[in-house]
Amino acid sequence: MSQAQLKTTEATVTFTLPTLPYDKAALEPHISAKTFDFHYGKHHKAYVDKANELVKGTPLEGKPLEVAVVESRKQGVGPLFNNIGQIYNHNLFWLSMAPNGGGAAPSPLAEKINEAFGSFDAFKEQFVAAGVGQFGSGWVWLVSSKGKLEIVKTANAESPLTDGKTPLLVCDVWEHAYYLDYQNRRADFLKVFVEKLANWKFAVQNYKKDAEMTGSCGTSCGCG
Ligand code: MN
């Protein structure tokens, strides 16, 4: 077979569904395998498939996901941005949780959380309140913005990335994220997220990466 023939048989897709970082039953009893079957296997997959279909033949075909999020948003909120944004948001959401997650935030985030919110308990309360206060579908985020931590909520497929902020952790508050396990009790789901699931190792990695790039850490984490 010639090189030319080989090339034509290669599938070119811009976006892929990432492998889950844990087994679909690993977060039970907090999030069921059944929720993962639908939320990851159907909802997230559908965003990937649709985004690949819509991006074909556009200047964003073949671009890295984060670039595609920012650039498609500049063109306005429509099907292309919505599907690409949802891929990005879900990728981060799976990584924002871990089996045996939750507990206290480690250094240097513990200090930054106290600085921004007063205490870890105040942070948790504000995070849950932001998620409950997001009317309709959306997301609640812990972000770093120029070295300062903030809680941000976004609607539908929006993310703080398009405002130049760095996501550290995110929780999905679309009903499909919690309805099978919690029905209408979004606050209970959010409490479980911060108490039992939050992947603080991932949040610290994201924070350090951002601080290295911006030189804004201002703590003894060694990133400066
Ligand atoms: Mn979702």
The share of the chain scoring above pLDDT 70, in percent, equals 91
d(CA 136, CA 157): 12
DSSP string, 126-194: HHHHHHHHS-SSEEEEEEEETTEEEEEEEETT--GGGGT-EEEEEEE-SHHHHHHHHTT-HHHHHHHII
Q: How many domains does the chain have?
A: 1
Residue at token pair 């087994």? 23
Task: Answer yes or no: is 114 within a domain.
Answer: yes
Q: What is the CATH number of the domain that holds 193?
A: 3.55.40.20
Residue at 12 is within a domain: no
In this structure, is residue 174 part of a structural domain?
A: yes
Residue 201 located in a structural domain: yes
Distance from residue 138's CA to the centre of ligand 1 (Å): 9
| Contact criterion met (CB below 8 Å) for 151 and 126 | yes
Ligand 1 center from residue 47 Cα (angstroms) = 10
**pLDDT tens sequence across 164-206:** 999 999 999 999 999 999 999 999 999 999 999 999 999 999 9
164 located within any domain: yes
Q: What is the pTM of this model?
A: 0.91
